[in-house]
């Protein structure tokens, strides 16, 4: 970037998880309750950009996941903005 102490970088990451039990999908462990047909393997892909300017850091990220249960219509898709400041 064009100023001293400034930098930027892109990032890309992925995770895969096997879920044995998810109470919000499987229902209660101790009594009969509502449940859905869960997918045990889920994955998520994330990408974004980080911009640093001296003590400030701004991160913009976008994440997309696989469906967590059979009747789920849309895939999880969300973004985030994080602003940080270093006090040293």
Q: In 1-88, which ranges are E strands?
A: 6-18, 41-53, 56-65, 77-85
Return per-residue pLDDT of the chain as tens, 88 residues.
468 889 999 999 999 999 887 777 777 777 777 777 888 899 999 999 999 998 999 999 999 999 888 888 888 899 999 999 999 8
Residues in the chain, how many?
88
Of the candidates 62, 64, 22, which has an alpha carbon nearest to the alpha carbon of residue 39? 22
pLDDT at 5: 80
Rounded to two decimals, the pTM is: 0.71
CATH 2.20.200 fits 6-85, yes or no: yes
């Amino acid at each position: 970037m064009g100023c001293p102490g400034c930098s930027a970088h892109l990032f890309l990451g992925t995770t895969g998880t096997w879920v044995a039990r998810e109470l919000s999908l499987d229902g209660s462990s101790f009594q009969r309750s509502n449940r859905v047909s869960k997918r045990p393997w889920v994955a998520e892909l994330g990408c974004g950009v980080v911009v640093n300017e001296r003590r400030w850091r701004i991160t913009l990220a976008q994440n997309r996941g696989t469906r967590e249960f059979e009747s789920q219509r849309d895939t999880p898709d969300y973004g985030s903005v994080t602003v940080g400041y270093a006090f040293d």
